[in-house]
Every structure is written in structure tokens, then in C-alpha cells.
Chains A and B, each alone.
Chain A
């Protein structure tokens, strides 16, 4: 379908994305996926709804699908720290700890003050719990 005639404002898009996160946190995964897919159609150049889809899969325990969604987001926006950190998280849950740790350290090195870097640091701190050696 062509959604080009729909021109939501930034505020409307933010509300939609936040509702997607709320649906995910409420374990309404199918609803969250539908919403993120819809937003991805509205803003095809944004990584956020694609990473949102990835986080839904992460929460569902579908770590490979989460990785695929995050890599899809990285195709749209290759330098997205947001997509990279969740891709690394999906690797961690797939027990690919060393690969995940390398990526997380690279994210922190690229911009230590970014909130994504703080998430990367927090993931490194729980890596031994998620993926024990």
C-alpha cells in the first residue's frame, strides 16, 4: 500500500512509537509489531521502528529475528548506535558473548556519553549472567 499521502507530524510519530514501546512492555507483542511495522512504512528512512521490531523479538525470546531486525535497521541507517546496541544484545542472548562484547566496547568507544553507550556498558555488566562462559 502507498502511505505517502499520510503525513504525520513528528509529535504524532513519537506518540506512536512510545505506544509501541508500551505495548511491548505490556506483552502485547503482536500489537506492538503491527504498530512498528506501520510506523516503518510511514518513515522508511528511520531506524527506530525497525529497532523497535527487534526489541519486540528480543522480549519474545526470538533472538535471531531480533538480530535480523536490527541489521535491517542498520541497512537504513548504518551508523545507528541504537541499532548496534540492540544487535549486540541479541548476540549476547544467542550466547555469542565474545562477539557481543567486542561490539559493545566499540559502541562505548565511539561515544562514551551517549545513552546507547550507557546501555552498552550496562549490558557488559550483565553479560556474565546472560551468557555465562
Chain B
């Protein structure tokens, strides 16, 4: 049986029994430090591109070839961020409106009660 770590959700190691491979290694998701390494790798490649390819002309091909995915991811993240911010503002507005409505209705109920009590207390038969 492959040894599966539920937290990482992939096969930790391949077990070989009687010459047979019983667990097939799956593609591991990059860990946080792996991602950091990728980013540094991209930066290094861009730096090399600048040095060897000559200035900006070297950066663009580097980003297109090695970091293009990151630009796309960055753009996607920015879009997600804008969408989240918009949703947050909408929720905040909705909550503020609900609060105002609650306060107005609460005030109406209180004034109605005061009005009734005043009418009753001033009553003369």
C-alpha cells in the first residue's frame, strides 16, 4: 500500500515489495518553500537574461518564457483581489443598510409604544 499523508494528499514514498513497485509516485504540489525557490529561480533567470541578453530586451523574453506563467498568475490574483474587495464593500454596505433599517423600525416601535402609553395615561372617562 502506498503510504499516503492525508495532509499533503499525495504518496510520500514508493514501497518496493518482492521486486514490485506497489506505490506510484504522484506529482507533488509545490510546497511554500518550493514556490519561493521558483520565484528566486525566475528572478535569477531574469537577471541572467538582463546580463547576457542585454538589458530590457533580455528581460522580456525571460518573463515570456520562464515567468510568463507568473505574470498570468499575478494578473489572476489581482483580478481575484479586486473581485473580493468589491464583494466585501457590497457586504459592508448591505450590513450598514440592515443596521439602519433595524434602528428605524426599533425607533418606530418605541415611539408607538410611548404614544399609546401617553394616550392611555391622559385618558379621562
Which chain B residue has the least Cβ–Cβ distance from A7? B125
A18 touching B104, Cβ below 8 Å: no
Interface of B is mostly: helix
A122 touching B124, Cβ below 8 Å: no
Interface centre among B101, B116, B123 (most CB of A within 10 A): B116
A126's partner among B108, B118, B119 (CB-CB below 8 A) is B108
Report the Cα distance A8→B121, complex, angstroms: 15
Q: How many residues of A contact B (CB 8 A)?
A: 26
A18 touching B120, Cβ below 8 Å: yes
A122 touching B120, Cβ below 8 Å: no
Interface centre among B108, B110, B118, B121 (most CB of A within 10 A): B108
Closest 6 CB pairs of A and B: A122-B108, A119-B111, A115-B115, A118-B111, A122-B111, A119-B115
B108's partner among A21, A43, A115, A119 (CB-CB below 8 A) is A119
8 contacts between A and B (CB under 8 A): A13-B125, A48-B120, A48-B123, A55-B116, A82-B116, A115-B115, A119-B112, A129-B101
Q: Is B114 part of the binding interface, using a Cβ–Cβ cutoff of 8 Å? A: yes
Within the complex, what minimum Cβ distance (angstroms) separates A13 from chain B?
Answer: 6
Report the Cα distance A17→B116, complex, angstroms: 10
Within the complex, what minimum Cβ distance (angstroms) separates B116 from chain A?
Answer: 6
Q: Is A74 part of the binding interface, using a Cβ–Cβ cutoff of 8 Å? A: no
B residues in contact (CB < 8 Å) with A: 101, 104-105, 107-108, 110-112, 114-116, 118-121, 123-125
A14 touching B120, Cβ below 8 Å: yes
- CB contacts (< 8 Å) of A116 on chain B: these are 115, 118-119
A125 touching B123, Cβ below 8 Å: no
Report the Cα distance A9→B125, complex, angstroms: 8
- CB contacts (< 8 Å) of B114 on chain A: these are 115, 118-119
- CB contacts (< 8 Å) of A21 on chain B: these are 116, 120
B121 touching A14, Cβ below 8 Å: yes
A8's partner among B110, B116, B125 (CB-CB below 8 A) is B125
Which chain A residue has the least Cβ–Cβ distance from B108? A122
Report the Cα distance A116→B104, complex, angstroms: 16
Decide: A118 near B104, CB < 8 A? Known: A13-B125, A18-B120. no
A85's partner among B101, B110, B115 (CB-CB below 8 A) is B115
B104 touching A17, Cβ below 8 Å: no
A122's partner among B104, B116, B123, B125 (CB-CB below 8 A) is B104
